[in-house]
A = this chain, B = another copy of it.
Amino acid sequence: MTEKKKTAKRTRRPLTEIRQENIDQIVKAAEKQFADNGFSGTTVSSIAEAAGLPKPNVLYYFKSKEGLYRAVLKRILELWMEAMHDLHAEDHPREALRGYIVRKLRQSRDFPDASKIFAAEILHGAPYVREELEGPLKRQFDDTVAVFRAWIAKGWMDPVNPEHLLFTLWASTQSYADFALQMKVLLGREELADDDFDNAIELLTRLVLKGCGVKMV
């Protein structure tokens, strides 16, 4: 069902551009497929079809299915680490935590496939991201936990367990991507609307700030 007249469209484009565009197309298609069907459930053919290319062409750019998956994962992990930035000990948790929640929820809304792929990867034993977990992500984790401790030391926050607080923040925000389907069904929505995300922001912010003894103002 790939109706695009590729040959016609591709005439006269420089090679570098072709390469970049094809790779983008493939990665994008792969992300969707992997999110929907998991690594094992995804076939190279289905990715190729979704990208509008013949299968060997996909294997031409990425040596193997695993290589493609790794490439997709890499992109995702970078996106992942971004949202964790901008939590600083100097900022007051009142704004910092709300901002973090907003950012994480936005990520769940805008990049649900990334979240799903990451979740499935962890779920199944993190065979491809073990190292990233132990290295960069752990550092980020420790830094963020340190910020929480600093807030506690300054009396800006009750002495709650900082590690588990961060786990809870991750879990509750990420679930708006991973379990969006369940939420849709249970809320009787066709799609999660902005309203739903606003409600999520409000509830989560309230639970965290009030629950940790941060004045909400």
Contact = CB atoms under 8 A, between A and B. Distances in A.
Contacts of A167: 172, 175-176, 179, 183, 200
Interface string A91-132: 000000000000000000000000010011011111000100
Give the most central of A40, A119, A123, A196: most B CB within 10 Å: A123
Contact of A199 (B164, B187, B199, B213): B164
A147 interface: no
Nearest to A204: B168
A203 B164 contact: yes
Contacts of A126: 181-182, 185
Interface stretch (A3-11, A17-25, A51-59, A134-142): A134-142
Interface residues of A, number: 56
Contacts of A185: 126, 130, 133-134, 138
A39 interface: yes
A212 B207 contact: yes
A171 interface: yes
Nearest to A183: B167
Most chain B CB neighbours (cut-off 10 Å) among A165, A181, A196, A200 = A181
Number of copies: 2
Nearest to A165: B203
B168 A203 contact: yes
B161 A202 contact: yes
A70 interface: no
B203 A36 contact: no
B37 A124 contact: yes
A210 interface: yes
A175 B181 contact: no
A160 B40 contact: no
A133 B179 CA distance: 12
Contact of A186 (B163, B178, B212): B163
A170 B172 CA distance: 8
A163 B178 contact: no
Contacts of A196: 164
Contact of A119 (B123, B207, B211, B213): B123
